[in-house]
Chain A
Amino acid sequence: MAEISASGAPQSVAGIQSSYLAQVQRRRFYGGLTLLIFVILMVSGFNIADDRNAGGFWEGLHQIGDYPADVLSEAWEKRADLPGLIAKYVPALVETINIAAVSTLIGVAGGIFLSLLGTRGLARWPRLIPLFRRISDIMRAVPEIVIALVLIFVLGGGPVPAMIAIAIHTAGALGKMFSEVAENADLKPVEGLASTGATWSQRMLLGVLPQVAPNYISYSLLRFEINIRASAILGFVGAGGIGYELRNAMAWGPGRFDEAAAIFILLFGTIVFFDQVSSRYRNRLTEGQGQ
């Protein structure tokens, strides 16, 4: 691009037109080539995956609705029991939400520290920025379920290993998001506080956090929703809560599908509820910023 304008000498309109057209054609050619490679990769990748699949994609496609249909029809037959079953599983749901809430709180605290220590311009020890960044990379690279399985093996089943596993992942993921917000924070208040002799933690607490708080809270609420789902899944591997009950109900197969349906309704309702609450709260935060 630069070579056209770098010459400096005024060119004729025809010359500019033909050089720009050549550039457009080159761009179109590369664009088309990229698209072609993308389509070829997608199609061939799909075929390879489908060959290795035990059942085959096309043969299995029409069966996709069978399981939900079984669950729904059985749940409909026993619909009179549903309210009782829902009430029965509420304590398990509370346990799941508790796991999510505690791990979100701990993860947010960890994420704030990781982000402030890993952001250029704010870090306490600028030389250690890469170290803290890699720590947060590792924490979010390992899936929660892997950490939970290891911890359950060491500590035994129950909510505590699940909580630790989710908190570690949350701290890593939020550390990344928080540090992107902190990078855009205005450094002038921090400099002002430094000029009064404030310590690093005082500067962060009073100079940075008030600026980034709305964004941090908004990301934390989003993470809380994600963690509810994560903690329900960890129940499958023995971390307790509603996921454990769901696995039992599903593993029993036909006959207990009404229980599975009750648990699905509970999970769905919970996630909708927290989604509504947090989106309302987030809207208020962003509107508050504008005033």
Chain B
Amino acid sequence: MLKIDALTKRFGQNTAVDAAQVSVDRPTMIGIIGRSGAGKSTLLRMVNRLSDASSGTITFEGEEITALRGAAKRDWQSRCAMIFQQFNLVPRMDVVSNVLHGTLNKRSTFATMFNLYPQADIHKAIEILDRLGIAEQASKRAEALSGGQQQRVAIARALMQDPKIILADEPIASLDPMNAQVVMQSLRDIHEQDGRMVIANLHTLDTARRYCDRVIGMRDGRIVFDGTPAQLTSGVARDIYGAGADFSEAATSTEIETLDRSAQQKAYA
């Protein structure tokens, strides 16, 4: 389905992503882990075409994504939803309007200006909100919601796009552990129930282990690990994070259960 081939991004002298090579043949939930500055965000932004690649190609179902321009590029972006760390909603607009923004690629600027969304879309938006458990907030302004609720609105906007791929750039980094769990579980449910591909940048190992089918480790722009969560041993994790022998998984954890980790870990496995 998705094939990333020798994808490289340079900023002046620095190489943020260095010849990344990824191939995905069926909808999978993929977690990308690595230190800050390892190139995780840059990689996702290139897949969504928010930023252009310096060299290399991305191919999705035979279509070369990196070559798209103008309307074709925006059409790809509507099929490839993105979720951000800081939610990136329009704070002063109500929740349903923010979700309806997922259909902007199909609407003219004129219709957008006069808020002329079809009734069916409005119904669908509220159904998606209900699925994520925040339908009661429908008419509130986005800025009045808590962080976890805002991130679910962002997920609803992504679902409104009816995308093939959902990219999530540190979706839980600004959330407390409880909300983080709700958001990650929503992404997992979307993957399992709708069969959409989900690629999430995560800064904690245990989240990647718990929710993802496949883990990609990045270090200094290069992909240094690509395998199942089971293959991700402590030694490999030390390599990815460039840490010494004193590194423990609990040090990067944001889970509540970390304290009684040993019992929990068996349950997840």
Interface segment out of the listed B2-10, B32-40, B132-140, B151-159: B132-140
Cα of A4 to Cα of B115 in the assembled complex, Å: 21
Cα of A13 to Cα of B136 in the assembled complex, Å: 9
Contact B139 A5 (CB under 8 A): yes
Q: Which of A13, A21, A23, A27 contacts B135 (CB 8 A)?
A: A13
Q: With an 8 A cutoff between CB atoms, is A273 at the interface?
A: no
Cα of A28 to Cα of B115 in the assembled complex, Å: 8
- Most B CB within 10 A of own CB, among A5, A17, A21: A17
Q: With an 8 A cutoff between CB atoms, is B11 at the interface?
A: no
Say how far A26's CB is from chain B's closest CB, in angstroms.
11
- Chain A interface size, under 10 / 10 to 19 / 20 to 34 / 35 or more: 10 to 19
Given A27-B115, A31-B114, A17-B123 contact (CB < 8 Å): yes
Contact B114 A20 (CB under 8 A): no
Contact A16 B114 (CB under 8 A): no
Contact A31 B115 (CB under 8 A): yes
Q: With an 8 A cutoff between CB atoms, is A10 at the interface?
A: yes
- Chain B interface size, under 10 / 10 to 19 / 20 to 34 / 35 or more: 10 to 19
Contact B119 A16 (CB under 8 A): no
Q: With an 8 A cutoff between CB atoms, is B172 at the interface?
A: no
Contact B136 A10 (CB under 8 A): yes
Contact A21 B140 (CB under 8 A): no
Chain A residues near B50: list those with CB within 8 A: none
Chain A residues near B116: list those with CB within 8 A: 28
Closest to B124 in A: A17
Q: With an 8 A cutoff between CB atoms, is A11 at the interface?
A: yes
Chain A residues near B136: list those with CB within 8 A: 5, 10-11, 16
Cα of A24 to Cα of B97 in the assembled complex, Å: 10
Cα of A20 to Cα of B137 in the assembled complex, Å: 11
- Most A CB within 10 A of own CB, among B116, B127, B138: B138
Chain A residues near B135: list those with CB within 8 A: 11, 13, 16
Cα of A19 to Cα of B123 in the assembled complex, Å: 11
Say how far A198's CB is from chain B's closest CB, in angstroms.
38
Q: With an 8 A cutoff between CB atoms, is B130 at the interface?
A: yes
Contact A20 B140 (CB under 8 A): no
Chain B residues near A1: list those with CB within 8 A: 94, 139-140
Say how far B46's CB is from chain A's closest CB, in angstroms.
24
CB 8 Å contact bits of A30-60 with B (1 = contact, 0 = none): 0100000000000000000000000000000
Say how far A33's CB is from chain B's closest CB, in angstroms.
13
Closest to A19 in B: B139
Contact A20 B115 (CB under 8 A): no
- Which 9 pairs show the lowest CB-CB distances between chains A and B? A13-B130, A17-B126, A16-B135, A4-B139, A1-B139, A20-B138, A16-B138, A17-B123, A16-B126
With contacts A13-B126, A13-B130, A16-B130 known, what are 5 further pairs, Cβ within 8 A?
A1-B140, A16-B126, A20-B96, A24-B117, A31-B115
13 contacts between A and B (CB under 8 A): A1-B94, A1-B140, A4-B138, A5-B140, A11-B136, A13-B130, A16-B130, A16-B135, A17-B123, A20-B96, A24-B117, A27-B115, A31-B114
Binding site for B on A (CB under 8 A): 1, 4-5, 10-11, 13, 16-17, 19-21, 23-24, 27-28, 31
